[in-house]
Amino acid sequence: MKNKEFLSTAELAKILGISRVAVFKKIKKGKIKAMKVGRSFIIRKKNLTGILPMGISDEGKREIDAAVKKTVKEYGQTLKMLGDT
């Protein structure tokens, strides 16, 4: 992502992994502060603190690690065969 001050609703939707409609709903509810420019909205990056993902918590890392171990245990041979193709 370029180092610019504003994001479009489409850019923010892509970053958050949600639809543009979901971004518009969050704007309408006041969860995302945006400015209307013509028929479009723009979002100032500095207003996104608390909205953008800041990383994975230790608990989240443990959950991911456990899920990976379980998957490898249950499907290890299949995964190996897929990797060989």
Per-residue confidence (pLDDT) for residue 48, from 0 to 100 = 82
Half-sphere exposure of 42 (CA within 13 A, CB side): 9
- Domains of the chain, by residue range, sit at 1-54, 56-85
Domain 1-54, CATH: 1.10.10.10
Per-residue confidence (pLDDT) for residue 55, from 0 to 100 = 61
Per-residue confidence (pLDDT) for residue 80, from 0 to 100 = 84
Among residues 23, 28, 26, the alpha carbon closest in space to that of 8 is found at 23
Where residue 1 falls among pLDDT bands split at 50, 70, 90? very low
Pairing of the two strands 6-8 and 35-37: unpaired
pLDDT digits (tens, 9 = 90+) for 7-39: 999 999 988 889 999 999 999 999 899 999 999
pLDDT digits (tens, 9 = 90+) for 51-63: 766 566 777 778 8
Distance CA 81, CA 85 (A): 7
